[in-house]
Amino acid sequence: MEPLNIAYSHIYSSYRNFVGPPHFKTICRLLGYQGIAVVMEELLKIVKSLLQGTILQYVKTLIEVMPKICRLPRHEYGSPGILEFFHHQLKDIIEYAELKTDVFQSLREVGNAILFCLLIEQALSQEEVCDLLHAAPFQNILPRVYIKEGERLEVRMKRLEAKYAPLHLVPLIERLGTPQQIAIAREGDLLTKERLCCGLSMFEVILTRIRSYLQDPIWRGPPPTNGVMHVDECVEFHRLWSAMQFVYCIPVGTNEFTAEQCFGDGLNWAGCSIIVLLGQQRRFDLFDFCYHLLKVQRQDGKDEIIKNVPLKKMADRIRKYQILNNEIFAILNKYMKSVETDSSTVEHVRCFQPPIHQSLATTC
């Protein structure tokens, strides 16, 4: 037994110290459809309690300590000046004691739950494709055969169908089985054929459910005074997430742990998911503090230490997170677009009156 244990330990050692595709494939095989549904329902309960409880309370508190107005400084100030400006404006957020502990941990749990659902769906899709391919010969689904010059495809296919006819399960069971066996065979055949044809996605449903948990007005802020959108006001969630991103992009000291070491990608998945579900992604890309600093630093190439923050090092961290955010946004939008196109094929376009100059406005 001992050599066998050593052999198995050696084989499975490559699957230790991480969670990835092999584990999710195994979970899918063990749990099946019903088991996965139960797990996802429980995860959604946890996400709901976090978004409507702990995280919501923190968002309300943090929105209060955000500056009411925070404009993006002009490029002429240079990247050191912009870093100093944002560092001063976001001072209360940077110094908020529970941000790097409870707030980030709660968001990480939400992000990991969303990521878990996505990876389970991907693993399940692979399992289903394998099932379809394995079941194909028993359902009279045969691949197109290679034909030589002068041969007819129909003749070759008929020959192949005749060869595999004894394997075709449903007619066989209908001929030889009991009524119960016939019903089971027909249902199994239908399920296997229809499973991937509908293009159903569990992850779409998960995202739609999570969006329904974000009903509190604090996530979206009050209606914009200009009637179009908030530009400098810090009242929407994407602005708060920009401030949080600014905090975890600040390089840490030699013996300190970085945000990615403590919280992994789950933290970013939570923030980006909430932004996409609230419809704030474009405003986030446009008005994010870190992205603005990165643009200016890439232009002037300066590297100074401002408020104990090395500028170049911070710009490199911002760029790394920008790439990660864009990847997460792309994945989420792929699923969300299919939800939105199903619900409404009409594109909503709002028309705005052109601005009137003050001199004309007074004479009217």
Which value, to the nearest 10 degrees, does the dihedral of the CA atoms of residues 115, 121, 126, 128 take?
A: 170
Query: Within 13 Å of residue 134, how many CA atoms lie on the same side as its CB?
Result: 6
218 part of a folded domain: yes
Question: Domain total for the chain?
Answer: 1
pLDDT score, position 343 = 45
Which pLDDT value is given to residue 150?
Answer: 75
Q: What pLDDT score does 274 carry? A: 97
Domain assignment present for residue 157? The answer is: no
Q: Return the pLDDT at 198.
A: 59
Instruction: Kindly state whether residue 129 falls inside one of the protein's structural domains.
Output: yes
311-312-317 Cα angle (round to 5): 95
Q: Is 153 contained in some domain?
A: no
Residue range of the domain that includes 228: 18-137+201-339
Do 303 and 250 meet the contact criterion of CB atoms below 8 Å apart? no
∠ CA 218-223-227, nearest 5°, is: 155
- Residue where the block lists tokens 């595709």: 21
Task: Quote the tokens at residue 352.
Answer: 């705005």
pLDDT < 50 positions in the chain: 341-344
Q: Is the pTM of this model over 0.85?
A: no
The per-residue pLDDT for 235 is: 93
Alpha helix ranges (H) inside 51-152 = 55-65, 78-89, 91-94, 104-135
Measured over the CA atoms of residue 17, residue 22, residue 26 and residue 31, the dihedral's sign is: positive
Evaluate whether residue 161 is within a structural domain: no
For residue 48, being part of any structural domain is answered with yes
Task: Report d(CA 15, CA 21) in Å as an integer.
Answer: 10
Residue 194: inside a domain: no
pLDDT of residue 142: 79
Nearest-10 crossing angle of helices 179-194, 169-176 = 170
pLDDT of amino acid 353: 75
Distance CA 257, CA 215 (A): 34
Output the six-digit token pair for 172: 């066989």
| Location of structure tokens 């509908």 | 198
* Domain-embedded: residue 171: no
